Amino acid sequence: MVRALLQLDRENEYCMFIDAASYDPSELPPEARHVRVRTSVSPTSAASFSGRRSIPDILRMTRAASREKLDLFFFPTVYTWFPIVNRCPIVVGVHDTIAEDFPEVIFPEGKGMRFWNWKSKLAHRQADFIMTVSEHARRSIIRVFGHKPERVIVVDEAPELIFRKLEERAIDRQITARYRVPEAPFLIYVGGINPHKNLPALIDALAAIRDERHESVNLLIVGELESERFTPGLTQVREKIAALSMQDDVIFAGRVDDNDLVHLLNAASALVLPSLAEGFGLPAIEAAACGTPVIATRNSPLPDLLGNGGIWVDPLSTIELRGALRKILDDSAARDLMGAIAHERAARLSWEASARQLQDLFREAVRR
């Protein structure tokens, strides 16, 4: 979205404050000026479920921003927030209220929850406007934090252009084979392997339908596997797989490049996102852009975004999830129709349109 905004807005100067560990000029838009800030903890470590930024690192970011003459400051997420002493409007991005609604699954350690609550309250208090990613998330933010509705503005997310519908003959079977995906029907999950993603329930539902008449269907899990620090639900998922003797039926792909992921999404029968909640559900939109139907939680904006392009379930009901999997696998005509509707709905979203929404928000913030 920032790249699209910089292409759109040639009137204003943009300055990006980057943690030293993240700084890679080749990955950053050249239209912006870059301020590299020396920090002691990498952003990925600080953002883990048990990590946090040190006070000295926070103060270094604050000092770096204070040296600039700024008309507005934008934090894409609360995770990156630090105190701003400049006298300028502040916009803070808040993607969801999952941490507030499900603290027991997000913060296995009480210390992490206390730090998050402290940081989040300060960020919300300092923000002139809150940017969020869906009307669903907006309602939750107003409910949890008590903001005036006019202070919480929706800026949509969108699929990258690489996610597109491929003809059957254009799907690269060498790629699917590389990730050990069989020729038989398979389901795909894309996202973090965190407790709130509710993957054990999906594995239970998969085991049930395999026992019925879909013994050949597999599940491909695409998501970070490098460290339990960032995937605190991985152990629980592996234990569930072992208990059901499904080691050969659930495939862990790890992190997958978008160039490969587009082929996996096109080849899948459906993307399944059974999370307890989603602020937006971008993997589902990426699948929809590929013409792949979606099974996802009702506790998300996806029913409104994709309409009849998917099946929406209570994430706490394995029975509903099982029924949705049966419908997708048994009824090819319904599956194809859902895929076509999902594709048409996803085509309405673009990063250029999102950048225009963000530009309007910035203008409103500066006017205030």
- Which parts of the chain register pLDDT below 70? 42-52, 227-231
Tokens (6 digits) for 357: 């929404």
pLDDT value of residue 51:
61
CA distance 189 to 287: 10
216 vs 246: CA distance, rounded Å? 12
Q: How far is CA 239 from the centre of its chain?
A: 25
| Other Cβ atoms closer than 10 A to 348 | 10
3-state SS of the chain: helix, strand, coil percent to 5? 50, 15, 40
What local confidence, expressed as pLDDT, does residue 142 receive? 98
Q: Which two tokens stand for residue 148?
A: 């005036």
Which pLDDT score, from 0 to 100, does residue 253 have? Answer: 95
Q: Which two tokens stand for residue 126?
A: 């300092």
What span, in angstroms and rounded, lies between the C-alpha atoms of 179 and 172? 12
- Among candidate residues 265, 178, 191, the one with its CA nearest the CA of residue 221: 191
Residue found by looking up tokens 């049930």 in the block: 208
Q: Could you write out the DSSP letters of every residue in 93-135?
A: E---SHHHH-HHHH-SSHHHHHHHHHHHHHHHHH-SEEEES-H
Residue 90 identity (one-letter amino acid): I
CA dist 133 and 70 (Å) reads 25
Helices 318-330 and 332-346 cross at an angle (nearest 10°) of: 100
> What pLDDT, on a 0 to 100 scale, did the predictor assign at position 44?
65
| Measured distance CA(215)–CA(26) in Å, rounded | 47
- Give 130's contacts (C-beta < 8 A, 6+ positions apart): 91, 92, 93, 94, 124, 141, 145, 147, 151, 152, 153
What's the confidence (pLDDT) of residue 331? 95
